[in-house]
Amino acid sequence: MLRVRTLILEGDRKLLTSLLRFRAFRTLNALMRVITVFGGAVFSVGIVLLLLLVSDGRTKQAASVAAVGLAGSFLIVQCIKKTVKRFRPYLVIAEIKLLGKPLKDHSFPSGHTTSIFSIVTAFALAFPALAVWFYGLAALVGVSRVYLGFHYPSDVLAGILIGAGCSIGSHFALHSWLLQGA
């Protein structure tokens, strides 16, 4: 088990520091700062609430799944962060300079990545033809979290699994519940 943990930590460090060379491109730095917002709490909760209020049909159903997935994944992320207490990379690796404001919570798992994957998974299940676009945006959010220095790649991977898993579970739970009520 210790060997696996060491391999993950070494891989995290190598991937993270390899992204540093791209920081020479100011436009890319600015773009990553914009992309990361799509996984933030204000955007995530705001877009889901807005869609719940103004949409109907499959869009409203997807927004309902996203809301339940988002709530469940948020609780899971907060419990894990308080248990694991992994320090953020910019606090541990000297060559990592944070591109943004420091955060007070812990690194593992990535909340931004979890949120965006909760949302896009709900919509990918409802609109499979658009899944590539949804997941492309979500992947960019995950990359932005590593690029900006907030997270290790394994934080992002955990966020993907939690976010997507919660929305898949929510999808089947809500559809099963709706079918029983029909």
Q: What is the pLDDT of residue 18?
A: 86
Instruction: For the chain, give every domain's residue range.
Output: 2-181
Identify which of 69, 78, 63 has the alpha carbon closest to the alpha carbon of residue 110: 78
Domain 2-181 has CATH 1.10.606.20: yes
What's the token pair of residue 166? 């919660």
Counting DSSP H helices and E strands in the chain, the numbers are 8, 0
Under 8 Å CB-to-CB from 106, ≥6 apart: which residues? 81, 82, 84, 85, 86, 87, 88
Separation in Å, CA 114 to CA 3, 72, 144, 155:
27, 10, 13, 10
CB 76 within 8 A of CB 158: no
Q: Could you read off the pLDDT tens digit of each residue along the chain, which spans 182 residues? A: 778 788 888 888 888 888 888 888 899 999 999 999 999 999 999 999 999 999 999 999 999 999 999 999 999 999 999 999 999 999 988 888 888 898 889 999 999 999 999 999 999 999 999 999 999 999 999 999 999 999 999 999 999 999 999 999 999 998 777 656 54
Q: How far is CA 175 from the centre of its chain?
A: 24
- Residue 179 pLDDT: 54
Q: Residue 96: phi, psi to the nearest 5?
A: -85, 115
* Residue 150 · residue 98 · CB < 8 Å: yes
